[in-house]
Every structure is written in C-alpha cells, then in structure tokens.
Amino acid sequence: MKSLRLKIALILMGFLSVLVGTTILLNYLFLDEYYMYSKNEALYNSYLLIQQLYQGDIEAIDDELSDLQDKNNMIITILSASQGFIYPYSDYTPTKLPNDLKSALSKYNEDSKANNRDHFLILEDVWVYDSDELFITLQTPISAIDETINVVTEFFTVISITISFLGVILVSVIANRLTRPIEEITSVATNIANLQFDQKLESKSQDELGQLTSTINLLSVQLQKHIFSLEDDIKTKENLEEVRKQFISNVSHELKTPLSLILGYTEGLKVGLSKEDQDFYCEVIEDETIKMSKLVNKLLQISQMESGQMELCMEEFDLLDLVESILKKNLLRFKEKNTSYTIDINLAEIIIEADYDYVEQVVTNYLSNALAHVEANGNITIRAYKQDCWAVIEVINSGSHIPHNEIDNIWDSFYKVNKARTREYGGHGLGLYIVKMILDMHQGEYYVFNTTNGVCFGVRFRAKN
C-alpha cells in the first residue's frame, strides 16, 4: 500500500510541478509582450475615448482627460493645426510639425499602431474634427511598465513557491485520503481470505469506492453464509457416515447373537438327541428366527420412514378407544410380568386426526418399553387427557430412573440404557426411535422425564375441537 500511496503522491506532485513550471515559463516568455500589448490597447482605447469626448471645446473635457491620464499613467498631448497646443504642454516635441500633418498620416495608419521608443510607449495620430486637424499624442513611460512586470514576476515567483509548499502538504493529505479506504478494503479482503468475517467496512460515500465497499461487505456476508452452510453439509455428511457405520455395526451385532444360537442349535440337531431336546432346540431356533424377523421388519419400516416412502393415512378416531384396545391385547403380558396397571382417564372421548396404525404402534412401543423396565411387582399407569389443543398420552412405570446424561440419547436408533437387560426382554433399541419418527411425521411432540418412583414417557397429538 505504501507503493500505491507513493505513486499517487508522485502523480499529484508531477501534475503540480508541471502546472507551476508552466505558469513560471509562460510568465517569463510572454508576460512582457502581453503587458506591452495590454498597454497598447489601453492607449488606443483612450484615444478612441478622446474622440468621443471632444466636441470642439477642450476645457469641457479637461477633468475627463486628467482622470484618464491618472488612471492609465499616461501623458496626453493635443496639438491643433489652427490653435497650436490646446492641451497642456509636454516635454515631448512631435516628430512632425503641424504643417506636415498629412505626411504624418501616411506614417501612422488608421488603426493607430503604437510605436516603441527608448523611454516611452507612444501613440500618435492625426484626427480631423470639424475641418480642424488635431495631432493627438498619448505616451506612457516604459520604465513604469518594466517595474510593473518585475513586480508581477516576483509575485508569481512567491506564489509559485507558496503553492508548491502547500501542494506538498495537500498531496500528502490527498494520497492518504485516497489510499486509506483501499487499505481498509485490503485488510478486510485479507481477513475474508483467512475465513475471518467479523470485520466490516464502513461506506462513507456513494461513488465507485463506496459501491466497492458495499460489495465487499455483501461478499463477506454471502461467503460466510455459504461457508457455514458448507460446513454444516460436511458435518451432516460426516454424521450420516457415522450413523451409517454405527447402523451397520448395530445390525451386525443384533443379528450375530441369534444367528450364532440358530447355528449352534442346528448343529446340535444333527447329533442324536432325545425327542424332548429336539423340541427344545426347535423352539429356540423358532424364537430367534421370530426375533430376527421382527428386527428386519423394524429396519425396513425405519428405512421407509427415513426415505419418505411411508404415507400417512389420516382419519379421525377416539384416542381412548385405541388405548383400551391396546390394554386388552396386553393383559397377558401384565400377568406374565406380575405387574398391575392403572388407567387415569377422566374424559369420555378424545378425538384426534392421525394415522391409526402408527398411533397404535407408538402407544404399544411405550407400553412394551414400560413392561421391559418396570420393577418387580411394580405398576404401570396409562394417562390420557387434553391440554389446550393437544391430546396427551403418558405411560408411567415404576422402577429405576434414566441417567440424566442419557435422556437425550434414548431416541437414537439402537440406543440401550441397560444393555445387560436388552437381550432378556428382546429389545433392539429401535422402539423409541420409531416413536420419534412417527411423531415427526405427525408434527407432534414426544418427551420423557423421571418421576419420583419411575419414568414417564409421553406424546402429544393435535386434538380435534
């Protein structure tokens, strides 16, 4: 940037030097001639003015002639052919006598050209007024002209030096003023190149530089937005890749155990076994096959949901009837677990518009999760109520709390809080993940929190008025 400032300073200084130098040169070469020309014009114009003023009586214009002499620093002499000198006598003696006025006319043309003498600038002419020939002479001292020219030359020299001195200061100020915005733009552009977008430019003008400033700011904002978006996309891709790897690992793990059991018991059937042992082996193989089938079905369902291939079949139905139907289907499971249940519902009906099968799967998954984690001889409470525009279902089981640092993770696929008990209850860590996806499809809400004696899982669907 110093180079640019120096270039601007040199250009301005060069322009200023040429301007001052040209002024001095023109003054030196042409001031004398111009000033002499100007004085000649003054003499000639004064001569014309005398012709206009004179009406035959010289005394009538005495004051005007006196003012004209003082104003132009000249001496006026008027010689009449009939009267002699009619305007004050001067030391200057005409080069021609009155009797020779006609020959003077041939010497000085009608345009009244001025003659240069050694000490005076002189204009002489013969003018005929009312048959009287007047020899008019106007003269101004050359010494006064030279003195004026010298004063003007000195003045121009002083002015040129002063302008040069002030010009250096002005050039420095202008160079700094012109380069400062460029320095700021360069600084911001460097920061942008280093992916630092906190610095912004202040637009102080509406010219091209101001437009460039606004463009740089807009570029910074847009580039920052796109970089953040790209970073988010990269993170999303990395997360998806991590999820994919984790998914494959989880599926492999979930299938490994039942396949190992099936393989082991199948090999056992090849050897001689009693009828009772054969039946037991077949039951184990069948049970593990059913578990794998359920796992595969859940994986297929999740895949369809994630790809958007699952469509909702929306219909209006009573949520309380659905809860009652699910409880009836699971009465045997309550008996097998030696678990009691409580229904906390005070409304006659709660109408919602949703996909009946998906809502049934949500409530069933919650109930299965509660049965898997309820304490021995514990209790499960099913609660349904309306809250503003929401229809709410909560399944509460007594038992151990979910660790606080794991509550946000239980909605992830294949996540298991108690991995030691998962195999015992046939869980794969997919039930709550499916609940989450179903609620997202319905634009509903899902939640979980620890109660005093257990855990509460809940969902909210939009209720019909």
The CA–CA distances, whole Å, from 260 to 247, 276, 304, 455 equal: 20, 22, 28, 34
- Residue 369: name the closest of 348, 396, 345 by CA: 396
For 382, the token pair is 């099913």
For 388, the token pair is 């503003």
Q: Is 174 exposed, middle or buried (0-12, 13-18, 19+ CB in 10 A)?
A: middle
How far apart, in Å, do the first and last CA atoms of the chain sit?
A: 71
Under 8 Å between Cβ of 123 and 112: yes
pLDDT tens track for 279-330:
887 887 887 787 677 667 766 766 666 666 667 888 999 999 999 998 988 8
The runs of H, that is alpha helices, within 54-123 are: 62-72, 101-107
Task: Specify the pairing of strand 379-387 against strand 340-345.
Answer: parallel
Amino acid letter for position 313: C
pLDDT score for 139: 87
Q: Taking 90 as the threshold, does the pLDDT of residue 336 lie above it?
A: no
3-state DSSP assignment of residue 90: coil
Q: Is 461 exposed, middle or buried (0-12, 13-18, 19+ CB in 10 A)?
A: buried
For 406, the token pair is 């794991």
Rounded to whole angstroms, the Cα distance separating 225 from 188 reads 16
Rounded to whole angstroms, the Cα distance separating 383 from 396 reads 8
What φ, ψ does residue 141 adopt, rounded to 5°?
-70, 135
Q: How does residue 109 score in pLDDT terms, banded at 50, 70 and 90?
A: very low
The partner residues of 123 in beta bridges, in order of sequence, read 138
Within 10 Å of residue 302's Cβ, how many Cβ atoms? 17
What φ, ψ does residue 454 adopt, rounded to 5°?
180, -140
Amino acid letter for position 311: E
pLDDT, average across residues 389-399: 92
Query: Which CATH code is given to the segment(s) 2-159?
Result: 3.30.450
Rounded to whole angstroms, the Cα distance separating 174 from 285 reads 92
pLDDT score for 254: 60
Rounded to whole angstroms, the Cα distance separating 189 from 192 reads 5
User: Using CA of residue 299, residue 302, residue 308, residue 313, what is the dihedral sign?
Assistant: positive
Who's near 454: CB < 8 A, 6+ residues apart? 374, 375, 378, 396, 397, 398, 399, 400, 401
- Residue 399: name the closest of 338, 450, 337, 344 by CA: 450
Range name among 151-165, 214-228, 363-377, 425-439 with the lowest pLDDT average: 425-439
pLDDT tens track for 73-97:
888 888 888 777 788 744 444 444 4
pLDDT, average across residues 123-143: 84
Under 8 Å between Cβ of 291 and 258: yes
The runs of H, that is alpha helices, within 127-207 are: 142-193
Q: Taking 90 as the threshold, does the pLDDT of residue 112 lie above it?
A: no
pLDDT score for 391: 92
Give the residue extent of every domain in the chain.
2-159, 311-462
Higher pLDDT, 436 or 413: 436
Quick one: angle between helices 275-306 and 208-270, nearest 10? 170
3-state DSSP assignment of residue 219: helix
Q: How does residue 379 score in pLDDT terms, banded at 50, 70 and 90?
A: very high
Q: How does residue 243 score in pLDDT terms, banded at 50, 70 and 90?
A: low
Rounded to whole angstroms, the Cα distance separating 334 from 327 reads 9
463: DSSP letter: B
Under 8 Å between Cβ of 42 and 72: yes
pLDDT score for 396: 94
pLDDT score for 203: 66
pLDDT tens track for 435-447:
888 888 888 999 9
Q: How does residue 385 score in pLDDT terms, banded at 50, 70 and 90?
A: very high
Q: How does residue 151 score in pLDDT terms, banded at 50, 70 and 90?
A: confident
Q: Taking 80 as the threshold, does the pLDDT of residue 373 lie above it?
A: yes
Amino acid letter for position 344: D
Q: Taking 60 as the threshold, does the pLDDT of residue 213 lie above it?
A: yes
Distance of CA 254 to the CA centre of its chain: 52
Query: Which CATH code is given to the segment(s) 311-462?
Result: 3.30.565.10
Query: What is the chain's mean pLDDT, rounded?
Result: 77
DSSP string for 433-444: HHHHHHHHHTT-
